[in-house]
Amino acid sequence: MEGLLKLKRRHFNALVCSVCALAAAGSLGHALAQAPAQAASSNLPAVLVVGDSLSAEYGLKRGTGWVALLSETMVKEKVKARVVNASISGDTTSGGRSRIAALLKQHKPRWVVIELGGNDALRGLPLNMTRENIATMARLSREAGAQVLLLGMEMPPNYGAKYGQEFREVFTAVAKAEKTALVPFFLKDVADIKDPTALFQNDRIHPNESAQPTMRDNVWPELRKLIARR
């Protein structure tokens, strides 16, 4: 991702350390606690978001992340559905795959948004494993009766053009094979602008509060199409 390239590689290396520390610190409970209040009490059909720190409000004031904004938008537009945020800072596709069956059983979502893969790349995990994990999550979600939306990611050019292309193609390949909806680049107009540092926190890794509406707007049109089909 061209803009994110300007965020030097040392910042990505720092993220790898930070996400491991977050996982060890018990970010699971923290992330699950971020689900909008309506998710716990409403009988409305659920939109389940399974993601990493980009969706878990890392470094943000509670209620200001794109998932919370998505929930607010759905309320304003009178969409009869609730949002459950099951994102964990530092999570990988392996983590998501290990959790998805229990999440599907617990929340019985009609729609599943998968925002994972970035941490796999940062940790140097095999792309075929990332692809298989995402595909399995999508397949299990479909078999449980949910429609799936994948949020694609890109890596900065300093990871190499070949790797960048192969990583990007993971999402398009899974979307095609599993017949899911796809947002090609979740951080469009955030990480690819002229000065991307303006929309990132001091760590230059995580989008700041100002970027969250754009992230929400990148997701909502595709999710709205899926909801309208039901």
What architecture does CATH give domain 2-229? Answer: 3-Layer(aba) Sandwich (3.40)
Decide if 53 is catalytic: yes
Decide if 30 is catalytic: no
∠140-123-102 over CA atoms, to 5°?
25
Decide if 203 is catalytic: yes
Of 31-35, 55-59, 96-100, 121-125, give the lowest mean pLDDT range: 31-35
Whole-model pTM: value is 0.84
At 58, list the tokens: 């890392």
Q: Say which of 27, 53, 71, 141 is annotated catalytic.
A: 53
Q: Say which of 189, 192, 203, 217 is annotated catalytic.
A: 203
Q: What is the mean pLDDT of residues 56-85?
A: 97
The domain limits of the chain are: 2-229
The DSSP bridge pattern shows strands 111-115 and 147-151 to be: parallel
CA distances from 31 to 5, 167, 210 (A): 28, 26, 20
Residues in the chain: 230
Q: Is the pLDDT reported for residue 226 higher than 50? A: yes
pLDDT one-digit tens code per residue, 164-221: 999 999 999 999 999 999 999 999 999 999 998 999 999 988 999 999 999 999 999 9
pLDDT band at 156 (very low <50, low <70, confident <90, very high): confident
pLDDT band at 31 (very low <50, low <70, confident <90, very high): very low
At 38, list the tokens: 């309506």
CA distances from 83 to 43, 105, 137, 180 (A): 11, 16, 18, 19
Q: What is the mean pLDDT of residues 148-153?
A: 98
Q: What is the mean pLDDT of residues 98-115?
A: 98
